[in-house]
Chain A
Amino acid sequence: MLKRQFDYEHKYQSLKQKVTELRDASTNLDINLAAEIGEMEKRMENLRADKYRQLTPWEKILLIRQPERPTTRDYIEYLCDEWIELHGDRLFGEDRAILTGIGSFQGRPVTIIGHQKGKDTKDNIRNNFGMPHPEGYRKVERMLLQAEKFKRPVLTFIDTAGAYPGVGAEERGQAWAISRVLTTLSALKVPVVAVITGEGGSGGALALAISDRLIMFSHAVFSVASCEACASILWRSLDKAEEMAAALKITAADLLQFGIVDEIIDEPPGGAQQDPDAMADMMGASIKRYLDELLELETDQLLELRYRKLRNVGLDADF
């Protein structure tokens, strides 16, 4: 049976609660167990940290799909002193599965684009669970060209199960919209820094991941298609999604080794959801460092380096 929930953290917190109760009870009885309980707490925390260091790829997927996980909007609000969201593709509609706008990042105007998942059911319906339609990608294309016009660097945040599989999406050219974004990004004349904060699912995620620097959270994943879909198609069994997650090599560590990702930002035990501010701080520091580097380059150089990165993907990797 395929494991559908990752409830380690929940169970850990309830164990921790019991230890607190034990401490209170022993204090009331005047039985001093402070040293023993202290030892126990330390050991518990170490074991928890170990657990999170050894998450399987499938456990990572379950962890990053939890609704408590911070979203693109949370990170933007933390990273930017000021920020204004801009809407619409000017062609058909507004797709709230992708958030776009202009922010002030460390005193520098940047265009920001990211998948936006919801926090609850209502939110998720509005945002279509972070699964964009073609109008989302066309909004992205519009914002990219706007960034180029005003010479603003671009930051992207990736967290989607994939582009939406629906009738309207097909009628309005999902494939066409995605290939245009890929093309635009491959030749965009301003620096692009991308961060995979959660799920990097298929072409719908790749469309925001073409960049000069790609950062990945340590429990994030990036895969050719969802593990469920791959398991159903190749192995004719959804229950094998867990095995598939391992076979596809989708973790941040795999992608760093493949030379596809430039840096991993470590998540605390419990994942980014345990300390969103710390994650945003670390991410902000990395983005700043990369932007400083990239803004030093002449446009031709920037484009040539990005081109080589795409053209030679996988060839420079050390594995």
Chain B
Amino acid sequence: MSFMFGKKKYIPVKLPNDPRTGVLPAQGQSCPNCGVWISADRLSADKGVCPKCNHNLTLSAYQRIELLSDDHSFEEMDADLAAGNILDFPDYEDKLERARQESGLAEAIVTGTACIGGNRTVLAVMDSSFMMGSMGVAVGEKICRAVEQALQLELPLIICSTSGGARMQEGIFSLMQMAKTVAVLERLHKKGLLYISVLTHPTTGGVLASFASMADIIIGESGALLGFTGPRVIKQTIGERLPDNFQRAGFLLDHGMLDLVVERSKLRDTLILLLKLHQEGKGC
């Protein structure tokens, strides 16, 4: 099955924009929550947070990497690793191709090493613009390789998740990524290395029920929807109104599932403090 990681097979040569610049859109946009118009300058200065209602706008993986890491310190790994259509699932190639064109990414996660406040770390960031950040074989493989990189270099690991869960089009192979990622992470834990999981909006299903919830420290970005089953399905099943704030980061903090809820503007400083307290970060 070497074709699975065939590096060139589905990778578009010409992407519409270069996503790696990591900047927010050149034009402004209106806040999806309160509707207020936010200028491009403001968006950039406020890290994609609405100045009026404090809503976190969706960040691409590269935008988040820029938000968290020291300038120009990110070195990407496995950038073009991508999976094929292992199950011959109907229309999956077209969907992948469209996701690649729209997101400019080969897959729903970007991994590499970065410096965060002078601490060298392995950093993996998911991107919800690529098929809802769903986890198939390539996402699982990139996570495992990131963990293995952290093991090899003895660096702390930070994974920022955003995902609808396992990718249905890769069927059972997607499901098995849950087991694969936690098995590799267990080696990181046994070696005494730090793993911080940052849960961003939304993180659900098989991603939350595997590597994303198996961290030493779990941070929820404020307002993020986090859960195993999405609220729509739960509502259908039980047929009644859901509690206020259900499955939001604050709700999960109150139920003891998160170490911290952090606003986007404080996320980088929080990570720097945690890295420092573990004194693991190797200088850059």
Contacts and interface: CB of A to CB of B under 8 A. Distances in A.
A174 B176 contact: no
A247 B90 contact: yes
Given A203-B206, A310-B180, A319 B1 contact: yes
A260 B228 contact: no
A48 interface: no
A174 B87 contact: no
B213 A176 contact: yes
Given A166-B234, A167-B238, A206 B179 contact: yes
Interface residues of A, number: 47
Contact of A174 (B212, B228, B237): B228
Contacts of A167: 234, 238, 242-243, 246
Contacts of A225: 165-166, 168
A247 B246 contact: no
A38 interface: no
B205 interface: yes
Given A182-B179, A202-B175, A307-B183, A165 B209 contact: no
Contacts of B173: 258, 313-314
A277 to B, nearest CB: 30
B87 A224 contact: no
B183 A175 contact: no
Interface string B243-257: 100110000000111
Nearest to A131: B237
Given A260-B172, A314-B4, A175 B186 contact: no
Interface in A264-319: 307, 310-311, 313-315, 317, 319
B179 A210 contact: yes
B86 interface: yes
A104 interface: no
A173 B255 contact: yes
Nearest to A229: B233
B225 to A, nearest CB: 11
B233 A203 contact: no
B144 A311 contact: yes
Interface stretch (A7-15, A18-26, A72-80, A248-256): A248-256
B178 interface: yes
Given A167-B246, A260-B172, 5 more contacts: A180-B214, A203-B166, A229-B233, A248-B172, A258-B172
17 contacts: A166-B237, A167-B238, A173-B257, A174-B227, A176-B213, A183-B182, A186-B182, A186-B186, A203-B175, A223-B175, A224-B167, A250-B171, A260-B176, A307-B183, A307-B187, A313-B177, A314-B173
